[in-house]
Amino acid sequence: MKNTLCFVLLAMAVGCSGGGATPQTELKSPQWPELDKLSSEDMRSMLMGAEMGDWNTVKREVSKPEFKATVDAFASTDVPEEFATDARKQAKDDAAKKFQDLVAAGAGAGSIQDAYKAAQESLAAVRQTDPVK
Domain annotation covers residue 81:
yes
Domain annotation covers residue 102:
yes
Let me know: does 33 contact 74? Beta carbons within 8 Å. Answer: no
Backbone phi, psi, residue 63, to 5°: -85, -10
Domain annotation covers residue 21:
no
Domain annotation covers residue 101:
yes
Q: What is the pLDDT of residues 4-51, one digit of tens each?
A: 444 444 444 444 444 454 455 566 788 899 999 987 887 899 999 999
pTM, whole model, 2 decimals?
0.76
Domain annotation covers residue 63:
yes
Backbone phi, psi, residue 61, to 5°: -70, -40
Backbone phi, psi, residue 93, to 5°: -65, -40
Domain count, the chain: 1
What's the confidence (pLDDT) of residue 16?
46
What's the mean pLDDT when you consider all of the chain? 82
What's the confidence (pLDDT) of residue 41?
81
DSSP 8-state code for residue 27? E
Domain annotation covers residue 24:
no
Domain annotation covers residue 110:
yes
Domain annotation covers residue 15:
no
Expressed as residue numbers, the domain containing 90 is 29-131
